[in-house]
Structure 1
Amino acid sequence: MVFPTGRRLFVVAAAVVVVLVAAAATVFRVLAPAEVSTLASGAYPTATAPPPGLVARLPVAPLVVDGRIRVYAAERQVYADEPVEFKHRSTPYWSYRRWPAKLAGVVASGHTVVTRWSDGQVVALDGRTGEIAWRAEGPVPEDDAAARRTGAESVWNPEGLFVASSADTSVVLSVGRDAMAGWNLADGQRLWQSDVRPGCQQAVGTTTAGGLVSVDSCGSAATVDFRDAATGAVTRWSPPGGGETLVVTPLGCRSGRSGCAGLRTAVGPGDDTARGWLFGAGEPVAAPVLDAPDTRLAGDVAVGVRDGALVAREARTGTEQWRHEDLGGARVLAVEPDRVHLITESNALITYDSVSGDQRSRFMLSLGTDSTSWAPGTVYAVGGYLAVECLRLPVDSAADDQRYFLTSRPVLLAAT
């Protein structure tokens, strides 16, 4: 074997160095932290009020923002399309991507879209343009189980990410394993941060009065903590009959688990001593009409199906407001402060006004040649829009996505 010497050796060494530098540069470009923002090129769409009915069939779950755009979550990307009533997913209106962080959750308030990432960063985007409004370092989220392909949990019910209104301030709240923090939604100014014992605080949601609700499970008895969204000041509450464990379910929320009007407490899943409560100026007020696990809170009205009838009662007094008889097996699918959405056994969607009980709309939840033989999965309702995942029967929660969902586009979006 002949080895290069002299000038030839120098040339070979130089070539090797060039190759290594080029390879290193390629690796850096591929693996280095990166951020790509593609801004909107068109005008911000106007809000519309489409007639009641199915408006879209989508492969992923939409978050309806400001009544004007739809926002979606991918593993490392958040993006929007428009208009809300377009029947398919369309070319992104704007897009924001990060690497190597993963998207952990998305919430919205007005035209602001707030994203939370696996490295703890909170990035607020202007929904009108896709531009970054502000960013902040926040608590690192707890590791979550693998998400389904629709991304519904990330946009409809994100863990540890909330918005709340306190006095004249709207606040973004992020909760991790060992810390909580709040920022002014308008400018990203940090309002407070609090360290907590790892694994002790389970965030539940936010209240209409501007508080962050969490369950502290590390004491001799589990308690419910209320933190002022603007200051972080804590008020602790021990529900009657509590023990070492406590299951808390938010009720009457405006979107996801933000802006909730009440809650239900139970010692454990399926507890027959569950109790319903309404938020007020002081401690929660007992509302026995909310005790039943299948009762929902729509504004000031508690609704539930009893003996085949949909019954609405004033939540604080229990006084019956209105009822609809002979629903033929229909059940409450979702509620909004002003609407109650029911689904029948044949998957027809019926929407009633929560105050008057008047029927707003009724139509089949199907689009084109979709089958009506399916089970509803995760549901989302806001601003008169309702979206639902369609699951294949019989439902198998352990199955892969291809078996679990009815079709490749399993999310139906309706205007009610």
Structure 2
Amino acid sequence: MGIPKGRRRIVVTVAALLVAGLAAVTVYRVLAPAEVVTEARGVRPGTVVPETGPIGRFSTAPLVVDGRLRVYATTRQLWADVPVDDRQRNTPYWSYRRWPAQLSGVVAGGTTVVGRWSDGQLVALDAETGRVAWRADAPPARAGYTGRRTGAATVWAPEGLHTATTPDGRTVVVVVGPDRIQGTDLTTGRRLWRVDVAADCRTDVGTTAAGRLATLDRCAGGPAVEFRDVTTGAVTQRWTPPGAGSELSVTPTGCATAHSSCTALQVAEPGAAGTARADGGRGWLLGTGDPVAAPGLDRAGTVLAGETGVGVSAEGVVTGRSALTGDELWRRADLGPGTRVVAAQPGRVHLLTGEKDLVTLDPASGAERSRFRFTVGRDGTGWTPGLSWAADGYLALERLRTPVDGSAGDQRYYAMAEPVVLAAF
């Protein structure tokens, strides 16, 4: 005998509900918000003193933290490997993954690594263990992950995410959102201040060595650079460069990682008939008061290294000038055409020649500190430098396909499968 018709309908309905329930559980497990922490195991990494020259090439951009480990970022993961001078990327020493939020920026201070996520969360990790040190709410970023294949923009120059030092020596994580700005204590995760601002009329610039946040404000009238105290969030100054028109762009220089602790600005103003000025605008030194004119930074492409503005002419002549006076301090004509400044850090300025030699100079004297071919294996020299990072005796650089096409996919944009080279000095 078969199952009665009415009972058969009940059985079919129950079976359909069970299938739907199992599907819902599966979807929830796959798509539900999640956090996966893989803590470090084994011996704490020691300090490394690498040999001068290229260390290795990588598919993702490393950020050296505490001189002991390398930190990397992808869309939903932040992780580290050791040792810092290994020629290749290794199995993660620790790893932190979130879903479905995306990683929009990373900053580090001491042994704390802070990730900013697209849902507005700040998550701080202990760099030695990978454990979560603290979590805090923060203004959401304008976008999620924007680091392309290497993650360089996320770990070297995240938009709207900086560190700054207060007069009493505390480190503050400064987060700039479309309509809100916040300061958070790096050590504890305690929110120090939060201010609401008019939406979408400010451009993030960076923090200064004097403990201020700089933004370009277009909210009312002509553009002005607005400075805020990173201890309180209060506006301490609004400054408009002399002769500024209705259009203005501001670029920080002399900065640490993530456009932090910057010591100068380069302000570009429109030239005749709205064209850009050929000299790149004007340079200004930053302190606690009004910015001070810095003629040594007026030329386009000049980088501030210490108290010296270092720039390269079209013919490849490298010149060091006093940032404050513009007086020439030294000149080198031996590096050849195609030379460009790619990075600077305290006591060092790094230049890449047309032949892809990486030359490190003392910015105060122009004396050569090191020189080597910036290639690994048989990669060749037919590429163009992209984003770069330099700190604590290390330098890393992206290699892009020539000619550079920023709108192209990653396979065309990058020069090779492992486009990032890490070197030591």
Indicate whether the TM-score tops 0.5. Answer: yes
1:401 corresponds to 2:410: yes
Structure 2 counterpart of 1:321, from 315, 326, 329: 329
Size of the aligned set, in residue pairs, is 415
State the partner residue of 1:104. 104
**Which letter does structure 2 place at the counterpart of 1:372?**
T
Structure 2 distance, partners of 1:166, 1:141, is 24
TM-score, normalised relative to structure 1 = 0.95
State the partner residue of 2:178. 177
Q: Where do 5+ consecutive residues of structure 2 fail to align?
A: none
Structure 2 distance, partners of 1:224, 1:77, is 35
State the partner residue of 1:227. 228
TM-score, normalised relative to structure 2 = 0.93
Note closer, same or farther for the CA distance 1:137–1:262 as it changes in structure 2 (3 Å cut): same
**Which letter does structure 2 place at the counterpart of 1:305?**
V
Report Cα offsets for 1:28-85 as digits up to 9, x if no partner.
Answer: 1111111111111123312212111110100011111111111111111111111111
Which segment is superposed worse, 35-44 or 95-104? Answer: 35-44
Counterparts of 1:218-367 in structure 2, within 5 Å, are 218-234=219-235, 235-268=237-270, 270-272=276-278, 274-306=281-313, 308-329=316-337, 330-367=339-376
Structure 1 distance, partners of 2:267, 2:4, is 80
Counterparts of 1:33-112 in structure 2, within 5 Å, are 33-112=33-112
- DSSP-derived class of the 1:341 partner: strand
Report Cα offsets for 1:302-342 as digits up to 9, x if no partner.
Answer: 11124643222232233443332332122212111210111
Kindly state the Cα deviation for residue 10 of structure 1 after the two structures are TM-superposed: 5.2
Note closer, same or farther for the CA distance 1:39–1:316 as it changes in structure 2 (3 Å cut): same
State the partner residue of 2:129. 129
**Which letter does structure 2 place at the counterpart of 1:298?**
A
Structure 1 distance, partners of 2:147, 2:360, is 30
Structure 2 distance, partners of 1:7, 1:148, is 57
1:256–1:380 CA contact under 8 A, matched in 2 = no
Structure 1 distance, partners of 2:327, 2:11, is 92
1:217–1:244 CA contact under 8 A, matched in 2 = no
Q: Where do 5+ consecutive residues of structure 1 fail to align?
A: none
Kindly state the Cα deviation for residue 346 of structure 1 after the two structures are TM-superposed: 0.7
State the partner residue of 2:139. 139
Structure 1 distance, partners of 2:421, 2:140, is 33
Note closer, same or farther for the CA distance 1:43–1:319 as it changes in structure 2 (3 Å cut): farther
1:254–1:337 CA contact under 8 A, matched in 2 = no
Kindly state the Cα deviation for residue 3 of structure 1 after the two structures are TM-superposed: 7.3
Structure 1 distance, partners of 2:308, 2:96, is 39
Structure 2 distance, partners of 1:146, 1:126, is 24
1:217–1:245 CA contact under 8 A, matched in 2 = no
Structure 2 distance, partners of 1:360, 1:107, is 29
Which segment is superposed worse, 208-217 or 353-362? Answer: 353-362
Report Cα offsets for 1:170-193 as digits up to 9, x if no partner.
Answer: 100111111110101110110111
Report Cα offsets for 1:342-399 as digits up to 9, x if no partner.
Answer: 1111101000122343221110011111111211111111111111111122322232
Kindly state the Cα deviation for residue 18 of structure 1 after the two structures are TM-superposed: 3.1
**Which letter does structure 2 place at the counterpart of 1:325?**
A
Which segment is superposed worse, 29-38 or 240-249? Answer: 240-249
Note closer, same or farther for the CA distance 1:174–1:271 as it changes in structure 2 (3 Å cut): same
Kindly state the Cα deviation for residue 271 of structure 1 after the two structures are TM-superposed: 2.8
Aligned identity (percent) is: 53
Note closer, same or farther for the CA distance 1:308–1:19 as it changes in structure 2 (3 Å cut): closer
1:331–1:344 CA contact under 8 A, matched in 2 = yes
1:252–1:337 CA contact under 8 A, matched in 2 = no
Kindly state the Cα deviation for residue 150 of structure 1 after the two structures are TM-superposed: 1.0
1:381 corresponds to 2:382: no
Aligned residues: CA RMSD: 1.9
Structure 2 distance, partners of 1:243, 1:117, is 36
State the partner residue of 1:212. 213
Structure 1 distance, partners of 2:139, 2:244, is 29
